Structure 1
C-alpha cells in the first residue's frame, strides 16, 4: 500500500510539479471527522500560490478503496477531488458517474484533462486490467 501511495503522489506531481503532498490533510476536529473514511486514501496537494489553471490553492484527493480478500489486494472504487481556495470549496470532481467537474470556479479544460489523466493512472495502478478513463 505504501508503494501505491507513493505512486499516487508521483502521478499527481508529474502533472503538477509545483505542488507538495500532505498525507494527513484532515484537521483533528469534529467538523472534519465526519469526512474521514477508513476505506479511503486521503491526500492533500497544495500549491505555493493559487494555481490559475486549477482555480484553487489546494486539492483534496480521496481514493475510495475496497479490499478484495480473495485476491488479497485492494481495488480503487472511485476517486473524488475537491479544489479549495481560502477554506472555500471551488469545485468537485468524481470518477463515479460521468467524470464531470462542478462548482463555482472549475479548472481550465487543460487542467481538467490533466486531473482526469491522474485519476485514470491511479485507478489503473490498483487494477491494471481496467480501462477507467472515459471521455
Structure 2
C-alpha cells in the first residue's frame, strides 16, 4: 500500500521518513514517490495492504542500477487489518524497473539474492543489502 496512506501514527510516519532518508543518504540523486500505486480500482485490487510501498526515480536509466526506478516494499505479517508501528516486520522486496518493466528483484523474505536477467552492479547490490539491514534495525525497534 502507498506509504503516504500507511503513515497513520507518528511512530510509523517517523520510520517511513527514516527509511527514505537512509536510501537517499546512499543515493542522493533519487527522488522519492510515497504514492507509487495508481488510485484506480484495478491497481488497488493488486496492492498488498500489509506493506509500506514507496519508490525512487533516477534522472535517467543507470548502468550501475540497470534500471531507472526502484520500488521498495516493506512487508509485515497479515494478522491485523492495518499496518501500524507495532506490526511484525518480516522483510523487504525491492525491484528495479526501466521502460521494459521489472528488470531485477531482491527479497529479504526469502534468500537475499538478486533475481532477474539483468542485475545491478555489485557495488550497488552491496549498498542495497546494507540498506535492507538498516531497515531491519529500524523496524525491529
TM-score between the two structures when normalised by the length of structure 1: 0.85
String of CA shifts for 1:93-129, please: whole Å, max 9, x gaps: 100121000112100011000000111101110114x
1:84 corresponds to: 97
Tell whether the 8 Å contact from 1:67 to 1:73 is kept in structure 2 after alignment: no
CA distance in 1, matches of 2:108, 2:139: 14
For the residues of structure 2 that align with 1:52 and 1:31, how far apart are their CA atoms?
32
Q: What's the offset of the Cα at 1:28? A: 2.8
Q: Structure 2: any 5+ residue segments left out of the alignment?
A: 1-11
Tell me what 2:117 maps to. 104
Greater share of helix:
2
Alignment partners' CA distance in 2, 1:119 and 1:35: 24
The aligned residue for residue 93 of structure 1 is 106
Structure 1 segments, 4+ long, off by >6 Å, are: none
**Ranges in structure 1 where 5+ consecutive residues have no aligned partner:** 129-135
User: How many residue pairs were aligned?
Assistant: 126
Q: Which residue of 2 aligns with 1:17?
A: 28
Offset from partner CA, 1:48-76 (integer Å, 9 cap, x none): 1112211100001110124899xx72332
- SS of equivalent to 2:15: helix
Indicate the structure with greater strand content: 1
> How far has the Cα of 1:87 moved from its partner?
4.7
Q: Distance in 2 between matches of 1:38 and 1:73?
A: 15
Identify the match of residue 127 of structure 2 among 92, 114, 126: 114
Aligned residue runs from structure 1 range 38-49, under 5 A? 38-49=49-60
Per-residue deviation, 1:34:
4.0
